[in-house]
Amino acid sequence: MEEQKRRSDCPITLSLDIFGDKWTLLILRDFIFFDNRHFNQLVNIERISTNILTDRLNRLLANGIIKKEVDLNNRSAYLYSLTKKGLDLVPIVMDIYRWGANYTEKNNAEKEFKKKIDSDYDKTVEEIKNRLITTHNIGNR
């Protein structure tokens, strides 16, 4: 992957260069909330084109946010998983979800999940992270 020229050294700018487009956040959403981790699942979710999905997955891989391994249940497919670095994005994705659920009209936020986030945000984030640590086999890498 070709290294991009930095626009600035601002941490927000540098972070947005990695995951600040709409597709990357949706890919992360699917990893975090829906456990959609195969290429074909990700293509079908939002009808993302395969070349854009490949580019975004490669960017996440290059930045150590996800890892790619052969799926042990289907050796002809790959399984993408979050890394420890990717796991640290859970609160960011949760905050975007919560903001959208509160401030966008006619959204499809699940009422029970929204109530859970509003009543005990920290516990909900911790539960999600613990589930991901197990399902994505996140160690101290």
Rounded CA separation 72/78 (Å):
9
The answer on pLDDT for 37 being more than 60 is yes
The pLDDT, as a whole number, for residue 141 is 43
| Banded model confidence at residue 56, pLDDT cuts 50, 70, 90 | very high
Question: How far, in Å, are 31, 49, 57, 109, 128 from residue 133 at the CA level?
Answer: 12, 29, 20, 24, 9
What is the percent of the chain where pLDDT is above 70? Answer: 96
Residue 11 in this model has a pLDDT that exceeds 80: yes
Q: pLDDT at position 4, please?
A: 64
Question: Quick check: 17 pLDDT over 80?
Answer: yes
**pTM for the structure as a whole:** 0.88
Mean pLDDT, rounded, of the chain? 92
